[in-house]
Amino acid sequence: MSETEAQFIERAFLGPHHSRLTGDMFTSLRRWYGIEPLWTLTILGAETSLGDPRLGGPLVGVNNFGCIRAGKASTPWAKLACGVITVNDRVWWRFKTPWDGIAAWGRLIKIGPTFIPGYYLERLRAGDWRGWAKVYYGESVKGFETYLDNILHLNAAFKRKLEAAGFPPADRWSA
C-alpha cells in the first residue's frame, strides 16, 4: 500500500516537529475551504514551525497555529475560539483543540480578512505571496521583508519535497 498525501505530510513535515497537527488536517483544509496543503505548510511553517511545541511559541499551546489575532467575536473563525491569550502585549485567540484551531485558521484564510473579504484565498490562488503577506503579516511591520523571504523559501522547499514524493501541488495554485 502506498503512502497517502496526509501520511506523507505527517511523516516528512509534522513528525520531525513533534506537532499535534495531522496530515488529515492539511488535506481537510483543501476539502473544506479550498486551501492547498502547500499553502498551509508554508504559512504554518512560518508562523509556528508547523506547530512545533518548542520552536512555535506560546500560541502552539493554545492551538493557534496560524497566529490569529483576537478581534470581533462574531467572525466565523472567532466562533471556534474558547477565549484569548495575551503574548507580548498582543491579544490572540485560543482554541480548545488542534482541530478547532486549524478549522478557525481555514475560515480566516477562506473568507478573511474582515476589511477585504476573500482577499487571503484570492492572493494564494494567484500565487501572490507578497500581496498575501502584506495584509496577513503587515507590510509596515518591522521584519516584513525577512518574513516574506522566509515564506518564499519555505514554499519552494515544501513544494520540492511534495513533488519529489509524487504529490505535486495543483499547477494553478502553486507559486
Place 170 in a pLDDT band, splitting at 50, 70 and 90: low
Coil vs helix vs strand at 58: coil
Per-domain residue ranges for the chain?
5-167
If one looks up domain 5-167 in CATH, what number appears? 1.10.530.10
CA 104 from centroid of its chain's CA atoms: 10
- Taking 3-state DSSP, the helix, strand and coil percentages for the chain, each rounded to the nearest 5, stand at 55, 10, 35
Place 169 in a pLDDT band, splitting at 50, 70 and 90: confident
How confident is the model at residue 9, as a pLDDT?
Answer: 97
pLDDT above 80: residue 173: no
Please give the Cα distance from 146 to 82 (Å, whole number).
32
Q: Which three cell numbers, joined as nine digits, stand for 56?
A: 512555535
pLDDT single digits (tens) 79-113: 999 999 999 999 999 999 999 999 999 999 999 99
CA 6 from centroid of its chain's CA atoms: 16
